[in-house]
Structure 1
Amino acid sequence: MGQQEKVATSLAGAVSEEISASLTAVDAELARRYPGDPGTRQPVHTVYVPGDVFEPGTLRSWGDQALAALDEHAPDAASFAAVLGIPEELAGPVHDRVRAKLEREPVEDLRIDFEDGYGPRPDAEEDGAAARAARLVSEAYANGTAAPYMGIRMKCMEAGVRDRGIRTTDVFLTGLMAAGGLPEGLVLTLPKVTYPEQVTAFVQLLEAFEKAHGLDAGRMGFEIQIETSQSILAADGTAAVARMIDAAQGRATGLHYGTFDYSACVGVSAAYQASDHPAADHAKAVMQVAAAGTGVRVSDGSTNVLPVGPTAQVHEAWRLHYGLTRRALARAYYQGWDMHPGHLPTRYAAVYAFYREGLEPAAARLAAYVAKAGGDVMDEPATAKALSGYLLRGIDCGALDTAEVARLTGLTRADLDAFASPRRGDLTVTAP
């Protein structure tokens, strides 16, 4: 080992103690504001269904319609891959996994919509629809037909619809409690947020409900929908979306970009309203930076081009949706909206191709990092975290199998979790 070096210092221990004491408040603030990703599953999409349209068989119907579209417009792996430009070596695995997903779990996240997709209705009608939604969601979780995540989008906190939104939320949540309690997969979406004070008001609503039912404080979280320019840039020039996350007091779970409301708000004409417009890219980039490290996840929006009509028209819509989804994934927007059953085949095709084509390179880099082996890329702990997160997302959505990831990396699911969310504790790598 050679001669041991003599170690000398110049500063007294009190210096370090004083510095640490001066940063105590900052340490606490960092831990509070930036806890890191929660390490839970993030759905690859959210499906919106109007409150009066949702039925017990809605999820299965979406899956069946998506399978029927595949059978009609791309009946085998080769034809489906040819439409989307999927490499030949991935054609079979992607096609087979898409079909299996549509048969097993066609929708990962469902939002029963009482906002734009539902519109203004007489109070008695919306009351009844909200109560019915609570009953159907409770029944779905009880009988095993629920999506992993389900909930409602209520009307926003603006003056004209505020009371209605509050009441619908109350009716829905009260119905869930009466039917046995809040499901673990419950998600609430607050739309058209313009000021942080509207987020604070929704927190106040949830706090009141939790107290009324003796629930743990903070039991309910919610998504903030970003649909106005004021939610990105406030009148004083600050990033309002960052202040909204703070106003949620730890309850914010996601930021969802509203493609068409936001585009219209900044003056983009209807023909050019899309998730890849520069205005959309700017908004989502601000959302992404504001949410980084907070545990709040960012979701892309949707396309309004539906895959319906003759085969050539369906193929064109599929290519558009597939391309937008792949573009979003490359930009680390791992979730989006799907507005039609015909979007499901291309949602899952894009997601599965994204993870399967990167499986072996990501696994090799992570295995080399763990083994401290050399290679043509010098990775750091942050990259190991990203590689683990990539593989975990692929496993969660069905693109990858736990066994094949373990074979390629030598790591267990617990190991991957530890790399992806180091804040859970010290990392101990075990054999699979």
Structure 2
Amino acid sequence: MGQQEQVATSLTGAVGQEIGASLAGVDAELARRYPGDPGTRQPVHTVYVPADAFAADTVRSWGDRALAAMDEHAPDAATFARVLSIPQELAGPVHDRVRAKLEREPVEDLRIDFEDGYGPRPDAEEDEAAARAARLVAEAYADGTAAPYTGIRMKCMEAAVRDRGIRTADIFLTGLMRAGGLPDGLVLTLPKVTYPEQVTAFTRLLEAFEQTHGLPAGQLTFEIQIETSQSILAADGTAAVARMIDAARGRATGLHYGTFDYSACVGVSPAHQAGDHPAADHAKAVMQVAAAGTGVRVCDGSTNVLPVGPTEQVHDAWRLHHGLTRRALARAYYQGWDMHPGHLPTRYAAVYAFYREGLGQAASRLAAYVARAGGDVMDEPATAKALSGYLLRGIDCGALDNEEVTRLTGLGRADLDAFASPRRGGPAA
């Protein structure tokens, strides 16, 4: 045994207490502004359906149409993999899981659209559509046919359509309350946000609804849609999107990038409006940094190239969508918009291949971290958090199975939750 070291200090406990007291406000501010990941499932996509086209069978219809597209244009695993350049060893597993997903849960997040996809209508017509949407959503949750997340996108808080947006939101939410209450998977989307004050106004609207119905404060949350340059860089040079998150006072759950409105806003010509344009990359990077640590998630936009027509044309559209989805996943945008049933096969193919091809490395690195075994990569707690989050997202969407992750890591779901977020299960040792 070596000589025991003598431990000596020079400062009194009062110094530490004084420093702690001076930073108490900062501690509270950090906890308020940056609570971390909410520890809930994040859908891999959002499907937008115009309010007048929404029906009781919309989710099932999208799944059936997606399966029909695969049957017609990629009837077997080899063809599907060849079109999308999926590695041969993943061809069968990805193909089989995509088809199973389309049969079981084709849509993870559904948005009934009262904005651009619906357009201006007579007030009586939109009133009726909003009430109908509430009834159908309530019935879908009651009979188990709803997407895990469902809600509406109303018109924005700009003067020309503000009253209409407020009324549609009120009719929809009131209809849900009359049908039995707000479902757990309810999602609201506020589009075309330019100023933080518009977020403040919408927050006030939700507070008023909660107070009217005796709901818990903060139960109603919403996504902020980023579609204007002013929401990224305000007139005073600040990142307005960061102020928008703060203006929501804990109610913001997501930042959704609007590819085509934003592109047009900054002058990108229609032929070049896409999710991989430098203007899009800049906007999403600012959104990502503003949202980091806040618990607000970033959602990528969509492509307007639809997989329709002859097989060659469908394959081209599939390759484009698959490539954009893979690109977004690598940049940590784990959710995006899908505008057509034909996008579902490539959405899930990209997502499933992304998680399955990284499963072995992520599992071994996490297992080594837990065992403090080292390996050829020395990971830190933050990386263990990211590895757990990666595996959990793969499990939640159906790319991975709980059993195979447990077998490879030695960790159960509760263990992964604890590593991934304090709000899931507390920090792991």
TM-score normalized by the length of structure 2: 0.99
Amino acid in structure 2 at the alignment position of 1:52: D
* Aligned partner letter, 2:89: E
Specify the alignment match of 1:266 in structure 2.
266
**In 1: Cα distance, 2:388 partner to 2:358 partner:** 12
2:113 touches 2:153 (CA, 8 Å); kept in 1?
yes
CA contact (8 A) 1:415 1:427 kept: no
Q: Structure 1 residue 246: deviation in Å?
A: 0.1
Q: Is the 8 A contact 2:325 2:347 kept in 1?
A: yes
Gaps of 5+ in 1: none
What residue number does 1:27 align with?
27
| Cα deviation digits, residues 362-420 of structure 1 (max 9, x gap) | 00000000000021111000000000000000000000000000000000100000000
User: Is 1:40 matched up with 2:35?
Assistant: no
User: 1:365 is matched with which residue?
Assistant: 365
Deviations 1:165-207 (A, max 9, x none): 0000000000000000000000000000000000000000000
Secondary structure at 1:313's aligned position in 2?
helix
CA distance in 2, matches of 1:374, 1:210: 51
Output the amino acid matched with 1:280: A
Deviations 1:103-152 (A, max 9, x none): 00000000000000000000000000000000000000000000000000
Figure out how many residues of one structure are paired with residues of the other and give that number.
429
- Contact 2:38–2:424 (Cα < 8 Å) also in 1: no
Give the 5 Å matches for 1:319-398. Answer: 319-398=319-398
1:220 aligns with 2:220: yes
Q: Do the aligned partners of 1:48 and 1:338 also contact (CA within 8 Å) in 2? A: yes
Q: Distance in 2 between matches of 1:424 and 1:39?
A: 5
Does 2:101 align with 1:101?
yes
Q: For the residues of structure 2 that align with 1:42 and 1:219, how far apart are their CA atoms?
A: 18
Query: Equivalent residue for 1:117?
Result: 117
Q: 1:425 Cα deviation (Å)? A: 5.6
Describe the shift of the 1:425–1:66 C-alpha distance in structure 2 as closer, same or farther (beyond 3 A).
closer
Corresponding residue number in structure 1 for 2:131? 131
- Counterpart of 2:279? 279
| Secondary structure in 2 matching 1:321 | helix
Partner of 2:239: 239
Classify the secondary structure of the residue corresponding to 1:112: strand
The answer as to whether partners of 1:366 and 1:387 remain within 8 angstroms in 2 is yes
SS of residue paired to 1:54: coil
Does the Cα contact within 8 Å between 2:231 and 2:240 map onto a contact in 1?
yes
Query: Aligned partners of 1:333, 1:183: CA distance in 2, in Å?
Result: 26
**Match of residue 172 from structure 1:** 172
Letter in 2 for 1:136: L
Structure 2 residue 206 is matched with structure 1 residue 206: yes
SS in 2 for 1:103: helix
Which residue type is aligned with residue 20 of structure 1? G
Q: Note if contact 2:153-2:191 (Cα within 8 Å) is conserved in structure 1.
A: yes
1:194 aligns with 2:194: yes
Indicate how the Cα distance of structure 1 residues 148 and 234 shifts in structure 2: closer, same or farther if over 3 A, else same. Answer: same
Two-structure CA RMSD over aligned residues (Å)? 0.8
Corresponding residue of 2:400: 400
Contact map agreement 2:157 2:193 (CA 8 A) in 1: yes
CA distance in structure 1 between the partners assigned to 2:208 and 2:3 by the alignment: 68
Pick closer, same or farther for the CA change 1:424–1:322 going to 2, 3 Å.
Answer: closer
In 1, are the aligned partners of 2:39 and 2:424 still within 8 Å (CA)?
no
The one-letter code of the counterpart of 2:360 is E
**Rounded Cα–Cα distance in structure 2 between residues aligned with 1:261 and 1:359:** 36
SS at match of 2:48: strand
Structure 2 counterparts to residues 30-69 of structure 1, below 5 A: 30-69=30-69
TM-score by length of 1: 0.99
